[in-house]
Amino acid sequence: MYGVEAVIPVETGLPTSQMDVCEVEKNGQLLCKHLDLVEEDCDVASAKLANYQQRISRWYNSGIKNREFISGDLVLRKVLGNTRDPTMGKLGPTWEGPYRVTSIAVIGAYRLQELDERPITRPWNVFNLKKYYF
């Protein structure tokens, strides 16, 4: 077996400037004072975090376009995978219509009808609709 020697760090064996300047009582008082300020530091940090989250939310929401339609608006409907014509490939149309909005089904979903008054069977989400300008 190999012999293992204990190595003493230099600071414990020889006095250094840090050990000469250190005052144990003053150090204890400073630690107690710092512990009293921990709650205040946490409050400041949480206020900064809330401010940061608010700024990020405002920045993100500035780029979002709110889509709302009223009854009678003309809209285009996104062509989804199951209604897409497979013979057209990727050059096929991505929007179809126009359709007329008849009512709001739930928040963010609308009931549609074709221009010849035939209703579409299910409601459509606002993310799959866009306003039709003619």
**How far is residue 58 CA from its own chain's centroid?**
11
Q: Does the pLDDT value for residue 52 go beyond 90?
A: yes
Q: Structural domain of residue 103, as residue ranges?
A: 74-131
Residue 18, domain member (yes or no) = yes
11: pLDDT strictly greater than 70: no
Q: Tell whether 84 is covered by a domain.
A: yes
Q: Which of 124, 127, 122, 134 is nearest to 67 (CA)?
A: 127
Total number of domains constituting the chain: 2
Distance, in Å, from the CA atom of 93 to the CA atom of 81, rounded to the nearest integer, reads: 12
Q: Provide the pLDDT for residue 12.
A: 61
Query: Residue 72 pLDDT > 80, yes or no?
Result: yes
Give percent of the chain with pLDDT exceeding 70: 84
| Overall pTM > 0.75 | no
- Let me know whether 14 and 44 are in one domain: yes
